[in-house]
């Protein structure tokens, strides 16, 4: 058979890999918000810039969390699709077994 094929096993494997990557990405959220750098570390002349830096960290952490959530959503959709293909293949095999008036 030429062309594209759907393989439920490969879809499940990809979903598992993506889920692992999502967990790794999610761990960065805590690392971003737990900065060891304070506004005073930017020096007296740049304390205002340091404050803006620290205020931006929660926004970056939120973006990281959103990215992890999107990856988890993709993983879930792949897993559901794989289950759908598996169910469809099983149902079609049963239909073929029943064909011919058996």
For the segment 22-31, what is each residue's pLDDT rounded down to a tens digit? 999 999 888 8
The parent domain of residue 74 ranges over: 37-89
d(CA 75, CA 53): 33
C-alpha pair distances (Å), 61 with each of 1, 28, 64: 47, 8, 5
Is residue 41 in a domain?
yes
94 within some domain = no
- Whole-prediction pTM: 0.69
In a domain, 16, yes or no: no
Q: Is 10 a domain residue?
A: no
In a domain, 62, yes or no: yes
Angle between helices 47-98 and 8-33 (to 10 degrees): 160
Domain assignment present for 78: yes
Give the torsion through C-alpha atoms of 35, 41, 46, 49, to 10 deg: 10
Mean pLDDT to the nearest integer, 26-42: 83
Check pLDDT > 80 for residue 18. yes
What's the chain's average pLDDT? Answer: 83
What total number of domains does the chain contain? 1
């Amino acid at each position: 058979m030429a062309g594209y094929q759907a393989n439920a096993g490969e879809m499940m494997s990809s979903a598992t890999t993506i889920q692992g990557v999502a967990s790794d990405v999610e761990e960065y959220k805590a690392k971003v918000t737990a900065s060891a750098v304070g506004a005073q570390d930017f020096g007296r002349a740049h304390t205002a810039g340091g404050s803006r830096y620290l205020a931006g960290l929660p926004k970056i952490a939120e973006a990281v969390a959103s990215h992890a959530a999107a990856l988890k959503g993709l993983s879930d959709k792949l897993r559901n699709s794989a289950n759908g293909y598996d169910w469809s293949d099983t149902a079609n095999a049963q239909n073929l077994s029943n064909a011919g008036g058996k």
